[in-house]
Every structure is written in structure tokens, then in C-alpha cells.
Structure 1
Amino acid sequence: MIFYVCHRLHTYTQASFLLYYRKDMQNFFRLVPYEQATLLGSLSAGTVIWSDMDRLSGVEIDAASELARKLELEQPHVVQLNHPRESFQRFDLLRKLFADGINNFQVHRPDALPDDIRYPVFLRDETGAAYKAPRLLQARRELDNALAALPDMKFVRPMVVEFGSKAGPDGLYRKYAAYRVGDRTYAQHCFANEEWFIKDPGRGILQATRKQHLDYVRDNPHAPDLMAIFEKASITYGRIDYTIVGGRIQVFEINTNPTVLSYPPTPFDKYDSMPYANMHADALLALPHARDPSSTAELDRTHFEVLAVLRREYRKRRRKLVVRKGLRFVRDAVLGSRH
């Protein structure tokens, strides 16, 4: 059995995967919110995946680290991926990758800015995910003005990040993403866009770059280098987001609680997400004791309570997606018939 420990509010990262694409994984996977993590002390066997550490307070990290230590000492058949304290978070990881000559860009705390900071830069919270493009700040005056507004931004641990991406010869920026799950890695996507800040493309991958995406997913060309970076970060489960500049990997982050599949399926999808779900499931099922049915009644009850909440939320989300994509399908069909 796999026990996935994360923040209760962010269990959605597994929702589409468990509820729609690989329902069979519900037999091997348990969601464990951090406030119920002490229930892991009753396990006889399984793999525990620690995630979401960037969202924990110092007190919570201390408690989770102590529990991880006890599991290691007292439950030899419980394997652990990641560590609540020893796995690198964003800031320390980016500092290390720059110091080791992997990244060409640096990251700083607002109260420790060097004179030789390289512009442009942007502000980023070390905690959680960024959903909107940060403003690129071109000079110290712009940065100072932005820092003065930090209290209104409610960042938990703000960072000043030097801009480290670059458009390719075709004018497009690219974001690559690959997973590590234990001893396995697999490539998930290569997204391209004219804008530097790239998230899920939503309407699908650009036709002009679809082949590159598919080739990347098939070949996983950077696997050895990425595994070495995961090792540097002491992260054995997570998704690494990066780009290529001058033939070199430039890492943006390693997310320990990444969304496996963002959207539930609809009849109007233009691409099939099942291959990506299968890659993730195959990697999970290769973990030690993954198929061992050992669990506890308390952990099972917690998991199914969380899953029931997710099921209600994702039914609503799927209905909205069906309506939105259905209307778009009809519109495109009508427009197409006029030509």
C-alpha cells in the first residue's frame, strides 16, 4: 500500500488520477492529511510518500520529522520517500544548483540582495504554487518598489529570482517536466509558448510543437541528469520543472506534491491523458510493498472521507468542463461548416 501524506487542502493533486483515470489504484493508494499522519505509526508494511513540505510550519515539520524517524527505527517494512526536513525546498535547492554550476541564475532573500544581482528578476513565494505570471523587474528601482508592496502580497517566504529562461530559435519558451517516483523517472510534458511563464496549456498543446512533446515523453532524454539533480535535492518523489538554455538544464523547481492530471476527462477532449496516468500508476506500483494490502481501519476511513469530498468537487468540475468544451466543440463545428 502507498500512503501519500499531504496538506488536506491539496489532496486534489491526486483527484483526477484516482477518481477517473486509474480507479484501480484506489486499492493500493491512501491519502493521509498531515493532521492524521500519526496513524502511520500502526503500519506493518507499505511505502510512505512525504509531500507538501513547503506548506508546513516549522512546528509541523518538526513533528513530521520525528514521526519519520520513528518509522525508520521501529517499522522496517515501511519505506519512506522524501523526508519532511532533509528534502530540499525551493530556495535552498536553487541556491545549491547555482553553487554547483547547474543553474545559471541565482535566487535571493529580499533582505540579502547582492550588488551584482542580475536583472530582470521577479518575486516568488517559496510556499505553494504560482498561477499568474510574475512581473519581470528590470532594475533596482522597480525591485525596490515591488518589495515595498510585499506586505500586501501575503507571501510566506518571499524570494527574488533572477530570470533564467530563454526563448528558442522559433521564438517559443519551453517548460519540461518529469517525475521521479522512487527509482523510476518518466517524462510528463514539454509545453511551449510565446510567453515565458508557462502553466498547463488548457486547450491543448500547440500543433506545431506536439511532435516535440510526444518525442520528449517517449524518450525521456534527460533522465540520467535529472536523477542526479533529484539526488542532490534528496527528493525521491516529485516533479521537476525545467528548461534548456544553451544545451544545459535549468531547473525552476521540484514540486513534491504535483498535480498528476489536472482535469477529469470529457467526451470533447482533444488528447488522451490515459498514457500519462498509466506511466504514473506503473511507477507507483513498482514501489516496495505497493501491492501489499496492509493498512488500518483508521487510515482507510480517513482516506475515503477525503476521497468522498474530492468526488463531490470533481463531479461539479467535470460538469462545467463538459458544458464549456461541448459549447466550444459546437462553435468550432459551426464555424468549420461555413468554410
Structure 2
Amino acid sequence: MAFLAELCPSKVLATIMIIFIGPNRQRHNLRGFKLFDDAPVTKHKTYNWLFRTHRLPAATYVFTFIDRLHPRERRLASKIYHHINAAGAGFKALNDPAKSKNRLDLLKSLHTAGINDFNAYRADEAPKPAKFPVFMRYLSVSLPPVTDLIHTQVELESAIDDLAQAGEPLDDLIVIEYCSEPIVQDYFAKVSAYRVDDQYFLDFFLFDRKWYVKLRDFDIMPPDFAATEAEILRENRWIDVLKNVFELADIQYGRADFSLVNNRPQIYEINFHPQSTLSQYESKIPERLEIANFVARRRMDAIIAIDQKISTKAIKNIVDPEITAFRLRPWRNFAPQRY
């Protein structure tokens, strides 16, 4: 298709590579990179590989899936993260697994910092939200809410009890104060902002007539909004707020999802391993396709910039008793089964 020529202006050969660390089932998140002839060499490796390998090739390592790791795995991964960053030229790691905040910690921190107007609570701590309605969703996985909007404290306590009786671990459920409104006409929107190391930029809007917005059809959008969206994306509107969000979360690679309420960004979560999807290139709306083209090119330019481009030898992995136990006693670890 014609727009691919704009996406791929020239071939650039990468001497090193970027290694994404995450579960096997998220390998497809890098699929969109193949549209670009100038994309750097990328590989997807699991935490099982990270803990078992004896040598680490020169690369930029992007740690993903952090919020779903066992604390023991986070500790080991963080040791390797620091080992990589101390290795010198040709080695770099993004997202310290020991520091990056999970969904609940992030939402509470954003509320305390005055960035978000809403708060969140753990369901097993007898929450008494400051305002209603609220809803509940999982802490450890990115799935739709497990409840509809809940309007009173009595309804909330009943819902928590019902979920506990159904076998749901309450320490994996969070109660979130509802904070959303249509962004234009009767369309709700999810806006996204990326951080790729020291680069920050907005991604395209997603729209729905429901308050919980997910990607269903890329071409759903309000009439006559394409020009406004393009202007917002090109000027990177609200990006200073989003820089503060990523700094607060201690995340160097990820996608923050937010919307506008009373003309202020309200941040809902940060995804550690955002998709580089192909679906937007199926758009039948020329203006929408142009927007997809623009944001995809900008993201790829940021990815190219974190490629080390310095030929150097591999380094030894860390020497650690827990790493040794992981390699020799598979029944005492999680990674081979989960990843």
C-alpha cells in the first residue's frame, strides 16, 4: 500500500539490537515493527531465558510484564537490570523491575500528587471510597472491570462479599472511583502517551459510546474530529503532565492511558508492553490512516533511537545463589511454567 513508502523511507542496518523481556504470549506485541524497513533488530526473550542464560548479548533490554512478576522474580530481574546498566557502552536496560509501580500504587500516587482527581483502594482493606460511583477490576491482569458501576457503600460491601464467596482473592481486586466523561459529543475517548527512554509523545485516540473504552474498531470516531486529533497529536498536547506521570511511576518504556475530565488528563494505567499493532492500517478513512501513519512513524523513530549501535561482546550474567537455584531446581520457581 502507498502509505508504507512513507513509513519506511530507508534501510538502516542495526549493529546491535533491542531485546524485550516478557512472556511468550506477548511476542505478537512487536508485530507492527515489521512494516518498517529501517526497524532495528529486535528480539523477544522470556524471564525464563533471562534467569537461565549465562551470557547477555550487547543490546538495549526492555523489561516488561513487571507488574505481574512474583516479588522473588522482580528481585532477580532487578539485579540483572542493574548489571546490564553497569556494563558500559553497548548495554542499556529500561524499566527497573524493583521500582516500577503496579496499577494500584500508581493510581494512589497520582491522586496524592494531585494529578488524578480520583483514588483507588484494595478490596481486602474494607475500602470506604471518598466518592461514588466506583467499580472493581483486577490488580494483576489487564482485563475489563469485574463489576458495573457501584453507587453506594452498601452496594460496594455486598459486591466485595459476593466476589469473595465466588472465590476471587480480594487482594487482587481494586476499587476505583469512577472518573470519566464524553470528550466530544457523546463519545468517550481513551488517549495514550508513550515514553521510550527520554522521548515522550501522544498516540492516536480510541473512541466508544461506553465509558470503558477498548479497541474495537479503529474507524469509530466523532464526525469532523480528525483535524482536531491531528493537531493535538502533532503539538503533543498535555505531554508535560504525562512526563510527570512516567517519572512518578519510574517507568522508562510504556504507554500511559488517560482521558480528559474537566479538561484535565486523568490517568488510568500504564501498560508495560504496548502493542505495535497492524490493525490501524486497515482503516478505510483517509484522515484516520494519515494519523496512524504519523504516530507509527514517530514511535518507530523513538525505537530506533534506543538501539545502541555499538558493536561489543556479550557479558556474563550475574552470579547469584537464587539464579543457581532457579537453574537447578525448576520446582522452586515460576517462570518456566508461567512464561
The question of 1:96 aligning with 2:112 is answered no
Q: Are residues 41 and 165 of structure 1, via their aligned partners in 2, closer, same or farther at CA, if it must alter by over 3 Å?
A: farther
Match of 1:122 in 2: 135
Per the TM alignment, residue 154 of structure 1 is displaced from its structure 2 partner at its CA by: 4.7
Distance in 1 separating the partners of 2:147 and 2:205: 21
* SS class of match (2:203): strand
Which of residues 257, 272, 282 in structure 2 aligns to 1:241? Answer: 257
Unaligned runs of 5+ residues in structure 2 are 1-16, 315-339
The question of 1:250 aligning with 2:266 is answered yes
Distance in 1 separating the partners of 2:246 and 2:148: 29
Contact 1:68–1:83 (Cα < 8 Å) also in 2: yes
* SS class of match (2:306): coil
Per the TM alignment, residue 142 of structure 1 is displaced from its structure 2 partner at its CA by: 2.0
Write out per-residue CA displacement over residues 92-119 of structure 1, whole angstroms, 9 at most, x where no aligned residue: 1111111111111010001224445311
The question of 1:109 aligning with 2:122 is answered yes
* SS class of match (2:213): coil
Distance in 1 separating the partners of 2:227 and 2:94: 33
Which of residues 186, 195, 203 in structure 2 aligns to 1:188? Answer: 203
Which of residues 146, 160, 163 in structure 1 aligns to 2:175? Answer: 160
Distance in 2 separating the partners of 1:212 and 1:267: 18
Per the TM alignment, residue 287 of structure 1 is displaced from its structure 2 partner at its CA by: 1.3
Amino acid at match of 2:62: I
Q: Are residues 40 and 163 of structure 1, via their aligned partners in 2, closer, same or farther at CA, if it must alter by over 3 Å?
A: farther
The question of 1:9 aligning with 2:28 is answered no
Task: Give runs of aligned pairs for residues 129-278 of structure 1, distance below 5 A.
Answer: 129-131=142-144, 134-151=147-164, 152=166, 154=168, 157-168=172-183, 170-208=185-223, 209-261=225-277, 263=279, 265=281, 271-272=288-289, 273-278=292-297
Match of 1:322 in 2: none
Amino acid at match of 1:213: E
Q: Are residues 111 and 44 of structure 1, via their aligned partners in 2, closer, same or farther at CA, if it must alter by over 3 Å?
A: closer
* SS class of match (2:76): helix
Contact 2:137–2:146 (Cα < 8 Å) also in 1: no
Per the TM alignment, residue 168 of structure 1 is displaced from its structure 2 partner at its CA by: 4.0
Distance in 2 separating the partners of 1:50 and 1:142: 39
Query: Please, what is the CA RMSD of the aligned residues?
Result: 2.7
Distance in 2 separating the partners of 1:269 and 1:39: 47
Contact 1:177–1:240 (Cα < 8 Å) also in 2: yes
* SS class of match (2:125): coil
* SS class of match (2:109): helix
* SS class of match (1:111): helix
Contact 1:79–1:288 (Cα < 8 Å) also in 2: no
Contact 1:46–1:294 (Cα < 8 Å) also in 2: no
Distance in 1 separating the partners of 2:18 and 2:147: 36
Amino acid at match of 1:12: H
The question of 1:22 aligning with 2:41 is answered no
* SS class of match (1:12): helix
The answer to which of 159-168 and 110-119 deviates more is 110-119
Per the TM alignment, residue 150 of structure 1 is displaced from its structure 2 partner at its CA by: 2.5
* SS class of match (1:149): helix
Paired positions, count: 292
Distance in 1 separating the partners of 2:280 and 2:263: 35
Task: Give runs of aligned pairs for residues 38-57 of structure 1, distance below 5 A.
Answer: 38=51, 42-43=55-56, 45-57=58-70
Unaligned runs of 5+ residues in structure 1 are 297-339
TM-score by length of 2: 0.77
Match of 1:282 in 2: 301
Amino acid at match of 1:234: D
Higher share in helix: 1
Q: Are residues 86 and 41 of structure 1, via their aligned partners in 2, closer, same or farther at CA, if it must alter by over 3 Å?
A: farther
Write out per-residue CA displacement over residues 144-170 of structure 1, whole angstroms, 9 at most, x where no aligned residue: 232123254756721110111123462
Amino acid at match of 1:248: R
Contact 1:180–1:186 (Cα < 8 Å) also in 2: yes
Match of 2:323 in 1: none
Distance in 2 separating the partners of 1:267 and 1:201: 12
Contact 2:208–2:220 (Cα < 8 Å) also in 1: no
